[in-house]
Amino acid sequence: MKTLRLILGDQLNSNHFWFNKVDTNVSYVFMEMRQETDYVLHHAQKILGIFAAMRHFAGELEAKGHLVLYLKIDDPKNLQGLTQNIDRLIAEHSFNAFEYQEPDEWRLDEQLNTYCQSLNISSKMFSSEHFLADREDVGKLFVGRKKWLMETFYRQMRVKHEVLIEKMSSSIKPTGGQWNFDQENRKAWKGKPVEPNDARPTHDHRALWNSIERSGVKSFGNPQAENFRWPVSRTEALSHLKIFIDQILPHFGDYQDAMSVHSWRMFHSLISFGLNIKLLHPLEVIRAAEAAYVSDKVSLSAAEGFIRQILGWREYIRGVYWANMPEYVNHNYFGHETPLPDWFWTGDTKMNCVSHAIKQSLEHAYAHHIQRLMITGNFALLAGINPQALHEWYLGIYIDAFEWVELPNTLGMSQFGDGGLLATKPYVSSAAYIDRMSDYCKTCAYDKKKRLEKDACPFNALYWNFYQKHEDKLSKNPRIGMAYRQLAKMSAEELKAIKEKAAAIGKDLNQL
């Protein structure tokens, strides 16, 4: 058998059993394709990072003696589409078997599944050996239930993988007697402890960037090609992880929700790119955090808070995606249709918080979770931005954005577009929350305390208007009773004025 094995750009798992032994009947193919660069408009660093990592991984396989076929973006033989390229390779090299790893995105899963049904040689899909739960696990756990809860799944995963678990003869207990230390992760940052150094590797990827541009690929954001900072090999990703665990994790939990004009990454790990393209395995990241706790290097709340993101949220989100695709992408619970304001592409808005979150995303292809959720996502939901347009923006701009993880986070968690399957309440806030968790308001052109005046923070009127407008859909939700009790105390004139102010803001979002 002459076998062709496909490796997608986010399947760079060097510990996969495929690579255990060299087999001269097996060729591995990597393809840099317009199909993948063009399905949404991508940040330059996302394209550059994935191609650089693919090239590195292919080079490592070749060095170990594996046969590698590599289609560069500017290769004249590259037909720029997945199935067209495979067809050509099968014909040219007389392969009689085709194999691939389970794609993480529905779009590619569907494409390969359909393609394989039409192939006249044998074909087989293998596990990517990356995730800790199967695609179907979350769907099975919550079958028939209207409300799904991450915490239920997370506890099951802690037990299944024996993470921060104490086993007695007859019982299993979470370490420290508590499953979740979320309440301890809520501090604002006042400049101390000092922001960690950016210890990520540096690379000169100008040659690669030039070839991407010459091939006509469209992108946005700063490519930082001369000094590209994201890890593109397993060695780099592991050393980046070690620095995080040793130096930054102790502060992760405390400042998980904090934001500042002085720091674009706060105490976040910046590992999502390495994880999502599978340079890192989630369990090795989790075990590293657990070991730091066991050896007294970090507190239990810091270790647990970090582990929950990976063992809980990341796996849960993936399960929600697979249980609900392909319909999930079309949900729009509130019927929001407003297009993205132009400043989503430039960051040129007087709203200091939004400007910072967007400008740093254009610069680094990164914003941390609370910026994505409580700044850009919060604004979009309050302003009634179309969730599908927003989904495409998030999918394009972040270096770690792959649809299986981006879509449920954007459409479900951030926009409540699924009507509350993923989030128990809409994540919206007025300026009060943003001011509590950041220093953005201190240097903002808008006044965080005002609601109706010309210089009033737009979040304030939009926030109260959002609850008024969607009363029929939200007022029975017990988690937002407080907001409705406050609304009930407002006079009819006050409510009318808020409505009018929100309408005036909504008339031209580009002016904000």
Binding site for ligand FAD (CB under 6 A): 268-272, 275-276, 309-310, 313-314, 317, 368-369, 372-373, 377, 394, 398, 400-401, 405-406, 409-410, 413-414
State the Cα–Cα distance between residues 81 and 48, nearest whole angstrom.
18
Both tokens assigned to 66: 């594996």
Taking the complex as a whole, the smallest distance from the CB of residue 4 to ligand FAD amounts, in Å, to 30
Both tokens assigned to 295: 């050896």
**132 is in the binding site of which of ligand FAD, ligand SF4, none (Cβ under 5 to 8 A by kind)?**
none
Q: Which of 48, 245, 395, 444 is the binder for ligand SF4 (CB under 6 A)?
A: 444
Burial of 253 (0-12, 13-18, 19+ CB in 10 A): buried
**313 is in the binding site of which of ligand FAD, ligand SF4, none (Cβ under 5 to 8 A by kind)?**
ligand FAD
Which ranges of 94-196 would DSSP assign to H, the alpha helix? 106-118, 137-141, 150-160
Phi, psi of 221 (to 5 degrees): 85, 170
- Between 246 and 453, CB nearer to ligand FAD: 246
**353 is in the binding site of which of ligand SF4, ligand FAD, none (Cβ under 5 to 8 A by kind)?**
ligand SF4
Give the residue among 320, 315, 329, 278 at the shortest CA–CA distance from 107: 329
State the Cα–Cα distance between residues 434 and 506, nearest whole angstrom.
20
Give the residue among 391, 388, 419 at the shortest CA–CA distance from 405: 391
- Between 31 and 373, CB nearer to ligand FAD: 373
**361 is in the binding site of which of ligand SF4, ligand FAD, none (Cβ under 5 to 8 A by kind)?**
none
Q: Which of 440, 463, 464, 467 is the binder for ligand SF4 (CB under 6 A)?
A: 440
**268 is in the binding site of which of ligand SF4, ligand FAD, none (Cβ under 5 to 8 A by kind)?**
ligand FAD
- Contacts (CB under 6 A) with ligand SF4, residues 489-508: none
- Please write down the long-range contacts of 72-77, taking CB distance under 8 Å and 24 or more positions apart: 72/32, 72/211, 73/32, 73/33, 73/34, 73/37, 73/211, 73/212, 73/215, 73/217, 74/211, 74/214, 74/215
Binding piece for ligand SF4, criterion CB under 6 A, among 113-121, 290-298, 321-329, 434-442: 434-442
* Interaction of residue 70 with ligand SF4, rule CB under 6 A: no
* Interaction of residue 397 with ligand SF4, rule CB under 6 A: no
- Between 271 and 303, CB nearer to ligand FAD: 271
Burial 272-303 (b: 16+ CB within 10 A, else e): bbbbbbbbbbbeebbebbbebbeeebbbbbbb
**373 is in the binding site of which of ligand FAD, ligand SF4, none (Cβ under 5 to 8 A by kind)?**
ligand FAD
Binding piece for ligand SF4, criterion CB under 6 A, among 6-14, 326-334, 386-394, 436-444: 436-444
Taking the complex as a whole, the smallest distance from the CB of residue 124 to ligand FAD amounts, in Å, to 28
- Show Cβ contacts of residue 165 under 8 Å, excluding neighbours closer than 6 positions: 158, 159, 172, 173, 174, 175
Give the residue among 429, 426, 423 at the shortest CA–CA distance from 441: 429
* SS3 of residue 395 by DSSP: helix
Give me the 130-149 binding string for ligand SF4, x by CB under 6 A, dash otherwise.
--------------------
- Between 308 and 448, CB nearer to ligand SF4: 448
Give me the 337-356 binding string for ligand SF4, x by CB under 6 A, dash otherwise.
--------------xxx---
Cis peptide bond N-terminal to 193, omega within 30: yes
Q: Which of 328, 459, 463, 464 is the binder for ligand SF4 (CB under 6 A)?
A: 459
Ramachandran sector of residue 270 (left: φ over 0; alpha: ψ -120 to 50; beta: rest): left
The residue ranges that bind ligand SF4 (CB under 6 A) are 351-353, 431, 434-435, 440-441, 444, 446, 448, 457, 459
